Structure formats: structure tokens, C-alpha cells
């Protein structure tokens, strides 16, 4: 049986991390960075956050380095914004799904 609280909290984490990314001033973090999804563990102590950039996978990997250095700030902000009992440990993973979807969209537009 699916854990609805877990999936709802994962969506809240995704939404809040997206908002927190706008406040970060690290030059390594891409301004067009998109949070694709957040996978929260069953005990809510560990969260994998998948991020993607319009500029490609290499730019997303560079942004992940900046996000890792800002992990403490992001974790603290999540704790305060979501009123969690315990803030989950965050792991940021670069993903190229936004780049792939942009390529598919371009190919579809070329067909028309």
C-alpha cells in the first residue's frame, strides 16, 4: 500500500527546494535549474533530489557541486518552511531529462 504522507511530503520538498533555489547566490548554480523529482525514503530521513538544466548535463553537474556546498542552508530552510520533525539528508543528482524533452519538442515542431 502506498504511503501517501511520504509522497505528499516529497512533493512539498520538491516545491520548497524549487523556491529556495531562487534565493541561492552561488555562481555555480544555474539560474535555469529545474527540480525534476524528489525521492524520499520510507522513514523520511533521506531524500534524493534530481535536478536538470536547460544548458545540458555538464551544467547540471556543475550546479550539483554548488548545491552540495549549500546543502546545510537548504536543509535548514526546509526544516523551517515545512515544520518537519527532522529534516532529511539531501543528495542532489544531475539529470538530463529537461535537455531530452527540449530536443523532443524541437523535433516535433520541425515535423509540423
Q: What is the pLDDT of residue 2?
A: 56
Please identify which residue in the block is written with the cell numbers 533530489.
49
Find the helix packing angle between 4-21 and 71-82, rounded to 10°: 120
Residue 1 has pLDDT above 50, yes or no: no
Span 10-38, average pLDDT: 91
> pLDDT digit string (tens) for 70-99?
999 999 999 999 988 888 999 999 988 877
Q: What is the pLDDT of residue 4?
A: 83
Q: In what order do the strands lie in the sheet with 89-95?
A: 33-40, 46-53, 89-95
Span 35-52, average pLDDT: 92
Span 33-50, average pLDDT: 92
How many Cβ atoms sit within 10 Å of the Cβ of residue 62? 18
| pTM exceeds 0.75 | yes
Span 33-49, average pLDDT: 92
Q: What is the 3-state secondary structure (H, E, C) of the chain?
A: CCCHHHHHHHHHHHHHHHHHHCCCCCCCCCCCEEEEEEEECCCCCEEEEEEEECCCHHHHHHHHHHHHHCHHHHHHHHHHHHCCCCCCEEEEEEECHHHHHHHHHHHHHHHC
Amino acid at each position: 500500500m502506498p504511503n501517501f504522507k511520504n509522497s505528499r511530503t516529497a512533493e512539498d520538498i520538491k516545491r520548497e527546494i524549487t523556491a529556495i533555489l531562487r534565493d541561492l547566490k552561488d555562481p555555480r548554480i544555474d539560474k535555469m535549474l529545474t527540480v525534476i523529482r524528489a525521492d524520499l525514503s520510507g522513514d523520511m530521513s533521506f531524500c534524493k533530489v534530481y535536478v536538470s538544466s536547460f544548458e545540458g548535463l555538464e551544467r547540471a553537474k556543475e550546479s550539483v557541486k554548488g548545491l552540495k556546498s549549500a546543502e546545510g542552508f537548504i536543509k535548514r530552510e526546509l526544516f523551517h518552511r515545512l515544520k518537519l520533525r527532522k529534516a532529511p539528508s539531501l543528495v542532489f543528482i544531475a539529470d538530463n531529462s529537461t535537455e531530452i524533452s527540449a530536443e523532443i519538442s524541437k523535433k516535433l515542431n520541425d515535423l509540423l
